[in-house]
Amino acid sequence: MNDTLTAPLTLERMRADVAGMLGEAPDAVGDDDHLMDLGLDSMRVLGLVLAWSNTGIALEFGHLAEHTTLAGWWQVVQQLQARASAGA
């Protein structure tokens, strides 16, 4: 199995994956940019959720749908990672 699939999800990986979905360089995606305004649609978000779920967190589409920025998504991921680490 590819180590990147099971490695903890990082903000840098999230930024790179979002940028890849948009055909942009990672530095074109700011923490507080509205991702839908950048061109991210629900199908692409679903693809990201599926890929990021392979890192061992219980990420669901609804978790990200409530937020519109990478910073908001990162907060959700950090909370899920903390729960997974605590065994909750």
The predicted-structure confidence for 41-58, as pLDDT tens digits, reads as follows 999 999 999 999 988 889
The predicted-structure confidence for 11-28, as pLDDT tens digits, reads as follows 999 999 999 999 999 999
Is 15:70 a contact under the CB 8 Å cutoff? yes
> What secondary structure does DSSP assign to 45-77, as a single string?
HHHHHHHHHTTTS---HHHHHT--SHHHHHHHH
Helix axes 11-22, 70-86, angle to 10 degrees: 140
Which CATH superfamily, name and number, covers 3-86?
A: ACP-like (1.10.1200.10)
* pTM of the predicted structure, to 2 decimals: 0.88
